[in-house]
């Protein structure tokens, strides 16, 4: 049996910090769950597309934690480099003089973290605190981000690059990003979701997963992306390159041939993965900026609209868009198609489509198309019965418009 002295001896060997270590281990023991998260989905899609991503957000908002979760979910080793505490030579390489520099030259030795990434063949390179890096360091990062070169080494294709930055107003001795560096990133505004934070502090965080690309949709996704970008830039040539006039704008997302190419790639990936419009909106606006990005999204919406000729060929099988603005565009397109090739059968089919729009959506959307379509009637065309079903809605809408105008006029007179 152990003696009292033995018991005291065993107790004496228990280190005071052992219990603290056990408690810390319990606090770090968390789990993940599948959860719809637009930010995380946009980040994983951009990482899947092998594009450098820059997360913008206030300090302490969870940018670094998101990167750790992403690396764990993708089973990639995470290499974190604090850009602001490094010298330019840490990214461009240090010159190493050999035995005969005149013959062999002077190689640029890369840092140890770059060597480890090359040896591993894959990984997630996290460039943190980018907005506190001075201009000289930002210049040295240009080749790292775009050409994936660090000194004499080239990062393998399996390495993805993600950076994080605080806005200049909340960064310690912050700098605006230089335009050449900013234009190499997909900029994502990182915010917190109250419910996600509360649930995460309770021990359950959302799980990051790579998007599943549908192999059968890959050729169509590429064709769709190329058509979307090319049609917009053909119609709006000034959008090809627009360097913002203010310093803050030049440090964010803005349109250039490089960023349009990035947008094209992201549209293809989002289409093949069946990503939501919110995710696509974050990615496109984070690449070419809000204004050009919204124009591109509007162009994408129009590309998804049904062909007026298909609708006129078989009105009974037609499916109209749910959104009011898109439905209005489709109906206007149908009427325009009849105007270009006026025939009795096409005119009748257009009325059937207007009736469908009346039955499945807001009545006011059919007023203008119905009035325009009625004006296209030829003398020898019989009036279809469908017009009677529309007459009430058109008359009611017109009376409401007149009442609104009268009320407005009375208000002005007062």
Tokens 């700098």, located at residue: 175
Tokens 């597309």, located at residue: 49
Which stretch of DSSP H or E encloses residue 205?
A: strand 204-206
Which backbone phi and psi does 35 adopt, to 5 degrees?
-155, 135
d(CA 336, CA 35) in angstroms, rounded, equals 45
Q: What are the tokens at 409?
A: 């006029």
Residue 53, pLDDT > 90, answer yes
End-to-end, the C-alpha distance of the chain in Å comes to 105
d(CA 369, CA 303) in angstroms, rounded, equals 21
DSSP of 111-158, one letter per residue? Answer: PHHHHHHHHHSEEEEEEE-GGGS-HHHHHHHHHHHHT-EETTEE--TE
**Domain assignments of the chain as residue spans, ordered by start:** 34-97+104-206, 215-303, 308-413
Q: What is the CATH number of domain 34-97+104-206?
A: 3.40.50.300
The pairing of strands 122-128 and 158-165 is parallel
110-119 average pLDDT score: 89
Which stretch of DSSP H or E encloses residue 392?
A: helix 386-413
pLDDT digits (tens, 9 = 90+) for 307-346: 889 999 998 888 888 888 888 888 988 999 999 999 999 9
Inter-residue contact 220 to 303 (CB < 8 Å):
no
Which of 165-179, 194-208, 210-224, 253-267 is predicted least confidently? 165-179
Q: What is the dihedral of CA 321, 322, 327, 328, to 10 degrees?
A: -170
Count CA within 13 A, CB hemisphere, residue 366: 27
Residue 12, pLDDT > 70, answer no
Inter-residue contact 259 to 276 (CB < 8 Å):
no
Q: Most confidently modeled of 29-33, 56-60, 310-314?
A: 310-314
pLDDT of residue 51: 95
Inter-residue contact 125 to 119 (CB < 8 Å):
no
Which of 23-27, 33-37, 256-260, 344-348 is predicted least confidently? 33-37
Residue 395, pLDDT > 60, answer no
């Amino acid at each position: 049996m152990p003696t009292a002295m033995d018991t005291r001896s065993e107790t004496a060997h228990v280190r005071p910090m052992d219990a603290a270590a056990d408690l810390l281990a319990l606090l770090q023991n968390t789990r993940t769950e599948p959860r719809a998260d637009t930010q995380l989905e946009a980040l994983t899609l951009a990482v899947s597309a092998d594009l450098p991503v820059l997360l913008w957000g206030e300090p302490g908002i969870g940018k670094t934690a998101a990167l750790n979760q992403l690396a764990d979910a993708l089973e990639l080793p995470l290499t974190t480099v604090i850009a602001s505490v490094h010298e330019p030579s840490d990214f461009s390489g240090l010159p190493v003089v050999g035995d005969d520099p005149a013959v062999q030259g002077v190689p640029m030795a890369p840092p140890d973290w770059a060597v480890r990434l090359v040896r591993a063949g894959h990984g997630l390179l996290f460039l943190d605190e980018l907005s506190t890096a001075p201009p000289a360091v930002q210049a040295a990062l240009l080749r790292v981000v775009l050409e994936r070169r660090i000194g004499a080494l080239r990062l393998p294709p399996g390495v993805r690059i993600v950076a994080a930055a605080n806005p200049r107003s909340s960064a310690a001795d912050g700098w605006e990003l230089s335009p050449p560096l900013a234009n190499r990133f997909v900029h994502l505004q990182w915010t917190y979701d109250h419910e996600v934070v509360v649930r995460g502090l309770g021990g359950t965080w959302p799980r990051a997963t790579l998007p599943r690309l549908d192999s059968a949709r890959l050729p169509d996704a590429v064709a769709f992306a190329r058509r979307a970008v090319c049609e917009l830039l053909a119609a709006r040539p000034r959008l090809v390159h627009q360097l913002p006039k203010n310093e803050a704008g030049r440090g964010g997302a803005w349109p250039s041939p490089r960023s349009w190419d990035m947008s094209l790639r992201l549209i293809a990936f989002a289409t093949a993965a069946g990503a939501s419009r919110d995710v696509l909106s974050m990615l496109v606006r984070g690449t070419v900026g809000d204004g050009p990005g919204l124009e591109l999204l509007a162009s994408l919406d129009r590309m998804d609209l049904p062909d007026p000729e298909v609708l006129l060929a078989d009105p009974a099988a037609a499916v109209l868009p749910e959104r009011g603005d898109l439905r209005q565009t489709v109906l206007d397109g149908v009427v325009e198609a009849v105007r270009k090739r006026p025939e009795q059968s096409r005119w009748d089919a257009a009325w059937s489509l207007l009736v469908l729009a009346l039955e499945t959506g807001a009545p006011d959307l059919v007023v203008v198309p119905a009035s325009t379509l009625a004006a296209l009637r030829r003398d020898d065309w019989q009036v279809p019965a469908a017009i009677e079903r529309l007459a009430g809605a058109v008359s009611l809408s017109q009376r409401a418009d007149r009442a609104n105008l009268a009320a407005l006029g009375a208000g002005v007179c007062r």
